[in-house]
Amino acid sequence: MLQSTFFISTGRAAIAAALLLIGTALAISSASAAERQYYDILYKTQLDPESGLADVEISLSGAQLPTQLTLHLDPDRHKNLDGDSLTIEGENAVWTPKGKQDSIHYQFVIDAKKSSGSYDSRIINKWAILRSDKLIPPISARAPQELQSRATLEVVTPKKWNTLAPYVKDEQGIFQLKDPGRRFIRPKGWLISGRIGSRQDIIDGTDTVIAAPLGKNIRRQDTLAFLSWTLPELKKVFPQFPEKLLIVMAGDPMWRGGLSGTRSLFIHSDRPLISGNRTSSLLHELVHVGTGIRGDHESDWIVEGIAEYYSLQTLRRTKGISERRYQQTLEALKTWGEESPNLLVKRSSGPITARAVWVLHCVDTAIQEASDGKQSLDNVVTSLAADRGKVTLKKFRTLVNKAAGEEITLLDREFLEGKKKP
Ligand SMILES: [Zn+2]
């Protein structure tokens, strides 16, 4: 057994550090797969529409357990924590599992609203829609190097409810969780439970499910058809697109837009597949699922711009919109973007994202011209999606210049801040 322990966190930077540590530890010990030991994590939750709460039990079992787990709580939603070997330290719960089996309990407040007042998490007497990565908070684990987790999620519901999450279920209806690259596995992505209807198909190798509460005005089949001609095109740019995809739809009072999650997304059922301005919220969120990137304090425009640009590109490439309409949309976004010349801000939306699309279009053209058509923004975006995690202006610029084979001045800071013309 190795003496070294390390820390796994859901933070990308910490992951990178942990991977570095794994690498170092492996080099020193040359620990082989045969030496690996496993313990089991069972996440069991009971959804209760009466109280609006989910009872959660996290149980560990195995010959050896992690020495310490730190749960990073949301104090408004994770309540009444209980466990023999649990201490609360501010917004963290520190669990030092004992013996070969140990468990903790808590309650999770399911209903949550976004700032606009509409729900992004909700339970009523007929259904529940929530994110499993909120239900189970981020957890940092301290464990010996060779110790690995296997994890399952069991959702107990009122009678006649069905539950879907972007994971395979076994014969007992228990989700078999996967989280490649993580040693401490926890569920992620959207979860829908209740009296629901769903449509499923394999689209270009991705097991795609569209699910929504039973009722009228939910276009599951239309949505599936739309994906069957757009997803394969999108997957050319994102070859590592998940093998499982869950799309959750619902009407008011849920959030009136789209919200992406791991291998899944939520979209309000009133959203058209293609809007009047020829953009698509559904494709926008799908690009987020495909890239898995997030911005730093000044690069959200890259994340949002890519989502919007590739939703538009995908429609154009699949002939959902004509070349003429595509050009018109670009021009309209360019004009709108003039309202907000500075891209280097914390959050990109509205005119900032519109300007981001125009800038990315120009960058795309510049790469193609500089490389005699051999490279395009596709190559840059494919690389970003392969790395996932945080994107910075520096990283983006490096990839763009590499694809172009020369310096692309469009990515000068002063131009991006709207202080000068390229
Ligand atoms: Zn977005």
**Tokens 């597949």 -> residue:** 273
Confidence of residue 26 (pLDDT cuts 50, 70, 90): very low
Give the model confidence (pLDDT) of 44-101 as tens digits. 999 999 999 999 999 999 999 999 999 999 999 999 999 999 999 999 999 999 999 9
Average pLDDT of 166-174? 96
pLDDT at 334: 96
pLDDT at 419: 87
pLDDT at 4: 34
* C-beta separation of 177 from 185 below 8 A: yes
In angstroms, what is the span from residue 311 Cα to ligand 1's centroid?
Answer: 11
Give the model confidence (pLDDT) of 240-259 as tens digits. 999 999 999 999 999 999 99
Residue 205, classified by CB atoms within 10 Å of its CB into exposed (0-12), middle (13-18) or buried (19+), is exposed
Residue 33 C-alpha from the chain's centroid:
29
In angstroms, what is the span from residue 82 Cα to ligand 1's centroid?
Answer: 37
Confidence of residue 216 (pLDDT cuts 50, 70, 90): confident
* C-beta separation of 167 from 202 below 8 A: no
Average pLDDT of 400-404? 97
Kindly list the domain boundaries of the chain, sorted by start residue. Answer: 1-191, 293-416
In angstroms, what is the span from residue 310 Cα to ligand 1's centroid?
Answer: 11
Average pLDDT of 277-304? 96
pLDDT at 10: 38
Topology annotation, domain 1-191: Immunoglobulin-like (2.60.40)
Average pLDDT of 298-324? 97
Q: Which residue type occupies 179?
A: D
Backbone angles phi, psi at 288, to 5 degrees: -60, -40
Peptide bond preceding 341 in cis form (omega within 30 of 0): no
Give kind and range of the element (H or E) at residue 233.
helix 220-237
pTM here?
A: 0.89
Three-class DSSP category at 58 = strand
pLDDT at 5: 33
Give the model confidence (pLDDT) of 106-165 as tens digits. 999 999 999 888 999 999 999 999 999 999 999 999 999 899 999 999 999 999 999 999
In angstroms, what is the span from residue 308 Cα to ligand 1's centroid?
Answer: 7
**Tokens 């763009």 -> residue:** 400
Instruction: Give 104's contacts (C-beta < 8 A, 6+ positions apart).
Output: 57, 58, 81, 82, 83, 86, 93, 95
Residue 162, classified by CB atoms within 10 Å of its CB into exposed (0-12), middle (13-18) or buried (19+), is middle
Which residues share a beta bridge with 261? 264
In angstroms, what is the span from residue 242 Cα to ligand 1's centroid?
Answer: 18
Any alpha helices (H) in 272-349, and if so which ranges?
A: 281-291, 300-317, 323-337
